[in-house]
């Protein structure tokens, strides 16, 4: 099978639903970071999507609607991990909606000018964020690694909060951004010490650092022999702002 057929089959099997948990996590990472692959997946969703017609409808219990509504009402009051991430996403969407709104354009221009030239003049919530954190977690939400970034001091660190890799294997950390032509780039291998991710990340612009996806794969002892992830990628996550 060619590489293209491998990607095609991976996309198709993801949509059909036959991949195992690690493979699904890998696909979900690729969906965020590999637009041509995401297009393949969407094409398969369209091809196979109509299969839902072969499944008999079943009336759900009557109380489910009420439970959905009360969770909607409670969503703004809770602060569970998934909710925070969801809200952060929504916040980003609102912000980008504001950016394209013509009515706001003039004041935004001024805001951008001040932000670029004299950020200390802005009230705290409008200053560019400087501290970020990413929790690299498994698909089921179990955290494996916590990464912190302080853009001001250019300090980047990661620590392991989850379990050990399987015997004879090493964790290796990666980051990937849509602008990387060759896919994920290594941030180092976890040995008896954590890798110094600052050495690599300090060379990248804040825009790339902030918008990259971070991930940890399971590799042969000592790290991937190929320079790209070769094993399962159980942990991944993105940075969110922490100081607003």
Partner 1 sequence: MSTPAELVEWLNAVSQGDRAAFERLYGATRAKLYGVVLRILRRRELADEVMQEVYLKIWSSAGQFNPGLASPITWMVTIARNRAIDLVRKRREVSIEEEPEAMDVAAELPNPLARRELTEEVRRLMACIERLEPERQALVLLAYRNGWSREQLAAKLGRPVNTIKTWLRRSLLEIRECLGS
Residues that bind partner 1 (CB under 8 A): 1, 5, 8-9, 12-13, 15-21, 24, 42, 45-61, 64-65, 67-69, 71-72, 75, 86, 90, 93, 139-140
Shortest approach of partner 1 to residue 35 CB, angstroms?
A: 13
Q: Which residue has the tokens 């291998």?
A: 189
Nearer to partner 1, 17 or 181 (CB): 17
Nearer to partner 1, 16 or 202 (CB): 16
Nearer to partner 1, 58 or 103 (CB): 58
Dist CA 59 CA 32 (whole Å):
34
Helix H segments across the chain?
A: 3-16, 21-33, 35-49, 64-75, 81-100, 102-117, 198-201, 206-211
Shortest approach of partner 1 to residue 203 CB, angstroms?
A: 33
Shortest approach of partner 1 to residue 46 CB, angstroms?
A: 6
Nearer to partner 1, 13 or 241 (CB): 13
Shortest approach of partner 1 to residue 38 CB, angstroms?
A: 10
CB 143 within 8 A of CB 159: no
Shortest approach of partner 1 to residue 71 CB, angstroms?
A: 6
Dist CA 204 CA 69 (whole Å):
44
Nearer to partner 1, 5 or 164 (CB): 5
Q: Give the torsion sign (CA, 204, 205, 210, 211).
A: negative
Beta-bridge partner residues of 175: 185, 214
Q: Which residue has the tokens 């805001």?
A: 111
């Amino acid at each position: 099978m060619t590489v293209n057929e491998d990607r095609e089959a991976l996309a198709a099997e993801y949509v059909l639903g036959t991949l195992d948990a690690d493979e699904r996590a890998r696909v979900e990472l690729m969906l965020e970071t590999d637009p041509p692959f995401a297009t393949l997946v969407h094409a398969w969703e369209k091809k196979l999507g109509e299969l839902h017609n072969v499944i008999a409808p079943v009336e759900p219990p009557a109380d489910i609607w009420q439970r959905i509504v009360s969770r909607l009402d409670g969503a703004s009051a809770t602060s569970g991990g998934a909710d925070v991430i969801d809200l952060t996403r929504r916040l980003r969407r609102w912000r980008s909606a504001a950016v394209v709104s013509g009515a706001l354009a003039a004041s935004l221009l001024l805001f951008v000018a001040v932000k670029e030239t004299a950020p200390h003049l802005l009230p705290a919530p409008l200053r560019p964020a400087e501290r970020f954190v990413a929790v690299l977690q498994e698909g089921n939400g179990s955290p494996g690694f916590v990464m912190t970034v302080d853009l001001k001091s250019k300090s980047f660190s990661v620590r392991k909060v989850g379990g050990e890799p399987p015997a004879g294997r090493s964790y290796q950390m990666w980051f990937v951004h849509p602008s990387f032509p060759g896919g994920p780039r290594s941030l180092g291998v976890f040995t008896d010490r954590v890798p110094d991710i600052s050495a690599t990340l300090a060379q990248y612009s804040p825009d790339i650092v902030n918008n990259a996806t971070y991930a940890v794969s399971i590799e042969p002892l000592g790290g991937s022999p190929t320079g790209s992830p070769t094993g399962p990628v159980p942990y991944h996550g993105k940075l969110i702002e922490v100081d607003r």
